[in-house]
Amino acid sequence: MLPKPIDILPQQPPFLFLDEYLELDERHCLGKYVFKENEWFFKGHFPGYPIVPGVILIEAMAQAGVSVGLFSLAHKENIPIEKSKEKGLSVFVRIGEVNFLDMVKPAETIFVSSTLIFNRFGKFETGGEIYKLVNNEKRMVCTHKSIVGQRIKV
């Protein structure tokens, strides 16, 4: 059984953008999030035509990447995944080549995929995408070639 994002990620509501994991291992994460109609940012992000800000989508991709990193760390150190966030805080050090291809509106569900490129010396890099299902077909929302995070002691 997969853990819940709220139990392993340092981010918490209202800044947690993964509701559940569909897949999670040392190399890959596929998560899901439903944007509620009353999300705090919709009020001011294009009143009358609310859409999810791109920075929130980047954050969702980063949270999926951190999930892979935490899973990998827990596996490597033979500790429960819920304890891995106690080893340090993962923060952005670089974001590379993000492409936005579609918008996400209130009440839409996104699927966030992240694949590990490397994880060493306290740094990890992932590549990933967000998509939604429209008429049961995958529609790409955004992609990134690189989000690099670094684990820091707090």
Three-class DSSP category at 70: helix
Q: How is residue 30 written in tokens? A: 């596929």
> Which has the closest alpha carbon to 63: 21, 119, 104, 118?
21
Ranges of each domain in the chain: 11-152
State pLDDT tens for residues 13-28. Answer: 999 999 999 999 999 9
Mean pLDDT over 116-132 rounds to 90
Strand order, beta sheet including 89-100: 20-24, 28-34, 109-120, 123-134, 137-152, 89-100
Counting every residue, how long is the chain? 154
CATH superfamily of 11-152: Hotdog Thioesterase (3.10.129.10)
State pLDDT tens for residues 22-57. Answer: 999 999 999 999 999 999 999 999 999 999 999 999
Which residues 6+ apart lie within 8 Å of 91 measured at CB?
149, 150, 152
Which is the catalytic residue, given 28, 45, 75, 144? 45
State pLDDT tens for residues 55-101. Answer: 999 999 999 999 998 998 899 899 999 998 888 888 888 898 999 99
Residue 14 to residue 93: CA distance in whole angstroms:
23
Q: Is the pLDDT of residue 151 over 90?
A: no
DSSP assignment string, 4-33: PHHHH-S--TTS---SEEEEE-SSEEEEEE
Is residue 45 among the annotated active site residues? yes
